[in-house]
Structure 1
Amino acid sequence: MTVSGVSPAAIAAAVEEARGFLRLEGEAEQALLERLAATAITLAEAFTGTLLVTRTVEDVLPAARGGGWQLLAAAPVRAIGGVMGLPAEGAPFVLPPDAYAVDVDGAARGWVRVIAPGAAGRVAVSYTAGLAVDWDALPPPIAQGVAMLIAHLFNDRDAGRAPPAAVAALWRPYRRMRLMAEAHP
């Protein structure tokens, strides 16, 4: 899975919220806060199993003829853009729409089924995924947990203490669990 980076706008918004927790004014330690924000957002996504702010994702999957449904790695899926055939030799090519099927289920999981791969041994599926279109649209508990984690990382640079338990408590209701043997419904 290849995921585009967290947008500078999301990082800036997270830093702004963390500044409120830290009671910092001005632009003091901006570069450090931006790195901590990127880290906190990445940790929140790993914990919840969800991309927080919508961005582009590409998965490379096997393309067995008449294969079954395959689950895309990122969630929640907002839209599946297209499928490219990846042959062992030669240039990638666009698979025609009748050569594959896509679905986004009720849990916002994306699924792809390659029906006629042609010369492709693998396929690259491009899609967008994310819980919110921008930082302001995130559920408040997730944004608050990210800001608290940034503040903790900023204040605890040398001590190495564990993050506050409140961070996990804020994120836990949004955690997506995946079973390894999931099948398309």
Structure 2
Amino acid sequence: MMLIEETAIADAALPVDQFKAHLRLGTGFAEGSVQDEVLKGFLRAAIAAIEARTGKVLIVREFFWSLSEWRDPASEILPVAPVVSLNSVTVTDTAGAETVVAAETYRLDQDSQRPLLRPVGARLPTVASGASVKIGFTAGMSFGWGGLPADLGQAVLLLAAHYYEYRDETALGAGCMPFGVTSLIQRYRTVRFGAGVMQ
């Protein structure tokens, strides 16, 4: 299984000026934009970390999800949420020949936690041993920064500021995330049940 981000977040969707205000950086200077690329990098890193922790895509973009087989031929759980639309389903046989599955044979179940690719009939198309399937879809909570829930936007700014302030620190533990960030994103995390454990 492999998730590929087909389109990146556009620079215009990043709240660079808001981040500067959050950091209390000086404004009105001729060199005011000199750090913009660095700030964009920290914002992108913070968004990626929060998306990885919650399983939610913040800014709308396109993805491909590649599988060697269906986990369940009656439905396939997509790896991130919320999914806006299904764009394509393509089966590649063992010889490398691709077959685009007719769009009228499948549908999207837009669950906010576990969106599903479902067949219109009884089963999803057969994927033979050694073959693969690729699902193209569009996912995201908002097309722009202003449409995000306020708590998620604040979490991104807090985490990006943490990365900025501690950019030279090498002693922080793996996966370190400030408490304020974890509390803001907690309600967006997907609840998983397995072996009697809720995560």
Q: What's the TM-score, normalizing by structure 1?
A: 0.81
SS class of match (2:157)? helix
Q: Is the 8 A contact 1:101 1:112 kept in 2?
A: yes
Distance 1:6 1:62, change over 3 A: same
State the 1:179 CA deviation: 4.3
Distance of 1:7 and 1:153 partners within structure 2: 20
Range moving further from structure 2, 121-130 or 89-98: 89-98
Distance of 1:32 and 1:105 partners within structure 2: 36
What letter is aligned with 1:125? Answer: I
What letter is aligned with 1:17? Answer: Q
Higher RCO (CA-CA < 8 Å; seq separation 6+): 1
Alignment partner, residue 158 of structure 1:
168
Q: Is the 8 A contact 1:72 1:112 kept in 2?
A: no
What letter is aligned with 1:71? Answer: I
What letter is aligned with 2:54? Answer: T
What letter is aligned with 2:88? Answer: G
What letter is aligned with 1:101? Answer: Y
Distance of 1:170 and 1:82 partners within structure 2: 34
The answer to which structure has the higher helix fraction is 1
State the 1:173 CA deviation: 1.9
What letter is aligned with 1:2? Answer: I
Distance of 2:50 and 2:38 partners within structure 1: 18
Distance of 1:118 and 1:170 partners within structure 2: 41
- Pairing 1:94–2:97 present: no
Runs of 5+ in structure 1 lacking a partner? none
State the 1:93 CA deviation: 2.1
- Pairing 1:104–2:109 present: yes
State the 1:75 CA deviation: 1.0
Q: Is the 8 A contact 2:62 2:138 kept in 1?
A: yes
Runs of 5+ in structure 2 lacking a partner? none
SS class of match (1:59)? strand
Q: 2:11 aligns with which of 8, 24, 36?
A: 8
Alignment partner, residue 139 of structure 1:
149
State the 1:43 CA deviation: 0.7
Distance of 1:77 and 1:131 partners within structure 2: 8
Distance of 1:163 and 1:72 partners within structure 2: 26
Distance 1:97 1:78, change over 3 A: closer
Range moving further from structure 2, 31-40 or 171-180: 171-180
Alignment partner, residue 167 of structure 1:
181
SS class of match (2:136)? strand
SS class of match (2:12)? helix
SS class of match (2:143)? coil
Q: Is the 8 A contact 1:80 1:110 kept in 2?
A: no
Q: How many residues align?
A: 177
State the 1:96 CA deviation: 2.5
Alignment partner, residue 69 of structure 1:
75
SS class of match (2:135)? strand
Alignment partner, residue 137 of structure 2:
127
- Amino-acid identity (%): 27
